[in-house]
Structure 1
């Protein structure tokens, strides 16, 4: 666990939340606050946060058993004799207190928050590369890892809770890491997890169909993404993608003035790229920024990664980098795990592993791979269980652009893998594609690779960097990259045996 050198300090609730009222006391001072009963310790403040399945108020009896000293709540609790702090928004107050205990680290750092259906991870990785290349030590909080500028650990959530975020930022500060790139998921924004965080840059990469099982409608999903603006510092800037059809909905009303920097493929954006070359080794493009023109290259493939690079460049400009520093940083950008990651074991066809799990991401992945492929393109994909069922047909329609489609299992969770596949197959009914069905993901990958010929491309989509498969309530070891390597090597051994047998004959 990434832990700061200094422990959290005591905070005065009246000072941190001036509009709060108090029951049973004139004020409360605490050095620990917990939002889950498992984290409660004697003398701490228990925050009664609303949840998706239960409310924190329902767990007060257990919190009392664990010795909490005070309650943070949105209305007075008549049957509780402990001191109470009454606030209109418990989650917001909780976030403010978490960051206050660690000395509000984001106030003295350059922080970029990135949200969007696709591109969050890659954009934050590129931004970190740009800043580090310019000798700005930079931390990362996102889907793949948490990194304090010195040490890293696998992430548990794309956007962790307020206490974890505050702790991670404090660890960065203690390591003289003065910048951070943070992914902000729509779930986290809807739930107010970033409360207490201050952003210098808020980037919205795009919004397409996803997570409607949680948000209910596209309008609510867009509204959740737009909440990133609430966390901007007074001099912060909003970066929006004009290629997103909803981008104008993110611009606040006139009563709240926010500086906006737009990017996109057309010259009506403030910054736009002119693509010069897209190849299997990377991308070259010319950045147009006002009267400036500067050529860039990045060792990431695909038009969508040019867009991600420009988004990161917009954030970097606001954080003080020069165009020369951006050029140098883009050229040094490392590959992003599980984002069109190439698996090369010497075979004469290409294998890519990608996190694409929406129709838009699948479409972009195929569009990227196809021009780099002289033969056929095969996609292996599935859909996550207990997630947005409505996007499954859309994913199938996008996958139909490949020459061969193998539908398999992804993370079925508590759903039947066969039922998920049935939902996906409905999306192929209006196409001429006849997909191959293989429920076992390992067998599906092996089949795609063993049937590939010279010049072909195999795209394994959905899980990307993940090293597990969620079946029921179990996390079983599973790594798409490792399985691809295994399949390629098995294929080599099989071919060598066949050649040896042919020579003997």
Structure 2
């Protein structure tokens, strides 16, 4: 317990710990159970269950508990932070033995993490990447124990690098506390998660924590074109590079050529210039690639090596997946689920195709304020919009679509509402003519659809394959 700042200790501390968890369902013999007061459940209410299943010690932040005299109880001020500190110690501080990269921002985290892993040598099994695609997890960033376990497994496997998506929730909930980051990347900050954060300023403060905690010798790689960049520059003690699409940045793109099949540009960096040809389309992917190049340069990789590792990344699952039907209709599948990401996708597609049909919904039990905003964006930019369901979870899918519809209705544009997602996709393809583009947005790589009473297998791409469209 020397690694944890505690207020009081009771019981006998000389017990052997074989497991650390904050989930009473996962407790086994020899476990240390950390009781966390959550947003829906208070872990202190499950201490009895944990002890009955074999827990031998408890950490919590309530001073009024009465536990059996022989059970060690460590009273702390912040159970979430204590869990992270205990996990670091239990797994012998694995991120100190790995070159660790954290990626945060509203959009682009998964793509930047994937590209960074490629640059650092994923193909050579030197890198462990933990992002939305790597593990079957409902969270962008897993809990503190799982992160440390994954990092420890990377060390045991002889890996050299560890790349991690870092969500605002993870920062607020101390999931990444204690991680020794060598590099932190900021992609952008736009409207999202305002169900959890009361204001954009509060959301920004959560993101800043990653940079505030960097060591002076670490490297911060910041999207200098984002309006929030000055706050990140001011927040960190680390060495800084900015990236963007103009020469005022340390890493920037010149001679840009965009097409539906990808992009060409010259990356200009502190290490020199390198031409890049990528099948990842849109200027947002140029930003993502520049960030990954920055990690490679910081790791002292030669530019030709960085180029040789980035260019083979032809597609990232659920991100700008492109298909063409037998009838000549172009289908794009993308995870765009925030106002900014949907707007960027639609603006990109409008440059390439004469007519764009948008199919999207919004998730339940999350930021309801973005729903009419996304409706307005699709109505303004798409030639036709079909509003459908995403993951409604515990909410009424029809109520979610009504909220989206409230943003598009005042525009007087063409749209319809089809709550059933497969039917909405088929309707869009029925309306599409040769040369048109259908954007299926919101779920991307996800393989299930979650309702209040069930979770079904569903993936946009696999559905299209099953009905013989692609």
- Range class of TM-score, shorter chain: over 0.9
Larger mean CA deviation between 307-316 and 289-298 belongs to: 289-298
Contact preservation (8 Å) 1:449, 1:487:
no
Following superposition of structure 1 onto structure 2, how do residues 222-371 of structure 1 map, counting pairs within 5 Å?
222-229=204-211, 232-233=214-215, 235-253=217-235, 257-290=237-270, 292-371=272-351
Contact preservation (8 Å) 2:6, 2:75:
no
Larger mean CA deviation between 285-294 and 421-430 belongs to: 285-294
Root mean square deviation, CA, Å: 2.2
Q: 1:130: which partner in 2?
A: 119
Distance 2:433 2:301 in 1: 45
1:52 aligns with 2:39: yes
Q: 2:154: which partner in 1?
A: 172
Residue 424 and residue 26 in structure 1: after superposition, are their counterparts in 2 closer, same or farther (change >3 A)?
closer
Q: 2:99: which partner in 1?
A: 110
Q: 1:398: which partner in 2?
A: 377
> Across the two proteins, how many residue pairs are aligned to each other?
467
Structure 1 residue 234: Cα displacement: 5.2
Q: 1:188: which partner in 2?
A: 170
The DSSP-based 3-state class of the residue aligned with 1:128 is: helix
Distance 2:162 2:238 in 1: 21
Larger mean CA deviation between 291-300 and 157-166 belongs to: 291-300
Distance 1:392 1:239 in 2: 31
Distance 1:319 1:291 in 2: 12
Q: 2:398: which partner in 1?
A: 418
Distance 1:470 1:385 in 2: 9
Distance 2:65 2:373 in 1: 51
The TM-score, its normalising length taken from structure 1, stands at 0.87
Following superposition of structure 1 onto structure 2, how do residues 25-104 of structure 1 map, counting pairs within 5 Å?
25=12, 30-74=17-61, 76-77=63-64, 79-80=66-67, 81=69, 82-104=71-93
The DSSP-based 3-state class of the residue aligned with 1:445 is: helix
Q: 1:208: which partner in 2?
A: 190
Distance 1:133 1:190 in 2: 29
Residue 28 and residue 250 in structure 1: after superposition, are their counterparts in 2 closer, same or farther (change >3 A)?
farther
The DSSP-based 3-state class of the residue aligned with 1:166 is: helix
Larger mean CA deviation between 429-438 and 128-137 belongs to: 128-137
1:163 aligns with 2:145: yes
1:386 aligns with 2:375: no
Structure number, greater radius of gyration:
1
Contact preservation (8 Å) 1:282, 1:301:
yes
User: For structure 2, which runs of at least 5 residues remain unmatched after alignment?
Assistant: none
Distance 1:96 1:387 in 2: 29
Contact preservation (8 Å) 1:137, 1:178:
yes
User: For structure 1, which runs of at least 5 residues remain unmatched after alignment?
Assistant: 1-12, 147-153, 491-505
**CA deviations over 1:183-232 (Å, ceiling 9, x no partner):** 11121211111123221111111110101001121111111111222553
Distance 1:468 1:69 in 2: 37
The DSSP-based 3-state class of the residue aligned with 1:33 is: strand
Following superposition of structure 1 onto structure 2, how do residues 385-464 of structure 1 map, counting pairs within 5 Å?
385-400=364-379, 401-464=381-444
Contact preservation (8 Å) 1:118, 1:205:
yes
